[in-house]
Amino acid sequence: MRASELKKVIITLLSSARNSDDPRQVMGMTCRQISERIEALTPPNQDVRAGQSLVKRIGEQLEVLQSEFEIASKGEERKIFRMAPPSLIVEREAPLRAKYVGDRAYINDVIKLIDAVGDMETRLVESSKSADESRNLLESRGISVQTENMLFGFLPEPQLPTQIEISMAEEFCEDYISTNIEVYIPRRMNFFDKRWFRLAEARPSEMSQLRRIKEKSFRFGQSSEIYIWAIADKLYRLQRQQALLAMYRIDLDANAARLLDIESEIPIELKRQLPLDYLAFLKRYTDEIAFDRQAGSGSNERNARYLRVQFKYKKLLAELLESKLGINKPMN
């Protein structure tokens, strides 16, 4: 099954997953559930497992569909995927040219309401009306009409943990973590320069309230990170998303925004240092590439992977990173 075919099957499955009491409400499925449904629907003579495992291939296509704004996900450990709300992503404002994305149940209504011509294969919609006129007709029916810049407004802003979040967080025993705790220190330097230091090495005047512990999994041989927020003599556990948003807020408050060269290849580590909701845009605006080294170079360098920003999206990515996370923001 080709990637394009797999995407269509995923869209069909998620589009048909609806609340039986209210068919307008889409329901969610995990990657594993989607995989099981596809296996059950595949004829015995068609080997969908050839090459990569089916679950892995589905996971890759789910990432692509999120970057295309077709589906949305919820959760970190066990993601639930569902069709995104119906939207028109504007490519030309007047006369309107836009791409329909999200819940397929409304595409015919959209075409009728704005008197448009639609290509069902590409889902490109063209109308003699402008984007503003179309927005006035559609948004009262729950169908958004947005430029890509407008979509940035739905991303979470950098913020410190609130009092309510702290009151609900797990409190840590200091004895448990005193030996390997690190503290986050904002620095206006290259994005990937060191910002985490052992607590004993850091100057009190530079310390933020954000801490972390690295724990090694004996089962998988990999390190995981636990994030902590320090208030006076108490320590509270943060979710990874909370910690990343706090990290960028600390940078902004310290006038120490990170610096990132998007004109060059970007280490793929960037994906781990952006909040979860930003990854769909990163996937949309960049291509993943292998570092092209000569055979005589070190094997680690030859196998390294990078992100290359697509030319047509460079301005949008720069705007996203600066306006939302402060990356490359000039000093005050």
Lowest mean pLDDT among 79-93, 260-274, 281-295: 281-295
Q: What residue ranges do the domains of the chain occupy?
A: 3-83, 87-146, 163-253, 266-325
For the stretch 91-108, pLDDT in tens is: 999 999 999 999 999 999
Question: Phi then psi for 330, rounded to 5 degrees?
Answer: -60, 150
Report, as an integer, the average pLDDT of 112-127: 94
Q: How far apart are CA 212 and CA 207, in angstroms?
A: 13
The amino acid sitting at 294 is Q
Report, as an integer, the average pLDDT of 178-206: 90
Report, as an integer, the average pLDDT of 128-150: 94
Q: How far apart are CA 42 and CA 32, in angstroms?
A: 15
| All residues at 6 or more sequence positions from 60 whose CB lies less than 8 Å from its CB, including other chains | 3
Domain 3-83: which CATH number of 1.10.287.130, 3.40.50.2300, 1.10.10.10, 3.60.20.10: 1.10.10.10
The amino acid sitting at 148 is E
pLDDT of residue 295: 45
pTM given for the model: 0.82
Q: What is the mean pLDDT of the chain?
A: 88
Report, as an integer, the average pLDDT of 4-15: 91
DSSP letter assigned to residue 29: B
Note the residue count of the chain: 332
For the stretch 51-73, pLDDT in tens is: 457 788 899 999 999 999 999 98
pLDDT of residue 3: 81
DSSP 7-61: HHHHHHHHHH-B-SS-TTSB--B-HHHHHHHHHHHS-TTS-TTSSS-HHHHHHHH
What end-to-end distance do the CA atoms of the chain give, in Å?
53
Could you tell me which of 34, 36, 35 has the C-alpha nearest to residue 15? 34
For the stretch 227-259, pLDDT in tens is: 999 998 889 999 999 999 999 999 999 999 999
